[in-house]
Amino acid sequence: MTKEAIVVVLATLVVVVILGVFGWLKFRRDEKIVMEFLKNSGVETRDDFTTTTAISSATRLSEARIRKVCGKSAMIRKHHKVRSEK
């Protein structure tokens, strides 16, 4: 491999890593916002349901972001399970 090819590969890897880190940080921030809303919303049991629209309105996050966070977050699933067992 030439030096130029190595530089291109390394630069590409750096960009991919940076974009991945920014995506992860954005997800964690959104997850924290949703968790705070859920903790403060008074949802007590598994039968209590908070809509994506309600969370979106209260947190100013888009409904698509709320769905993504709630679908991927183990912390939110754990919170929901713990609250439903009480």
Predicted confidence (pLDDT) per residue in 42-84, tens digit? 765 555 678 899 999 999 999 999 999 999 999 888 776 665 5
Name the pTM for this structure.
0.76
Residue at 32 is within a domain: yes
Residue at 31 is within a domain: yes
Neighbouring C-beta atoms of residue 74, cutoff 10 Å: 8
Give the pLDDT score at 65.
95
Confidence bin at 41 (pLDDT 50/70/90): confident
Residue at 62 is within a domain: yes
Residue at 20 is within a domain: no
Give the pLDDT score at 39.
86
Report the number of distinct structural domains present in the chain.
1
60 in the Ramachandran plot: left (φ > 0), alpha (ψ -120 to 50) or beta? left
Domain that holds residue 37: 26-85
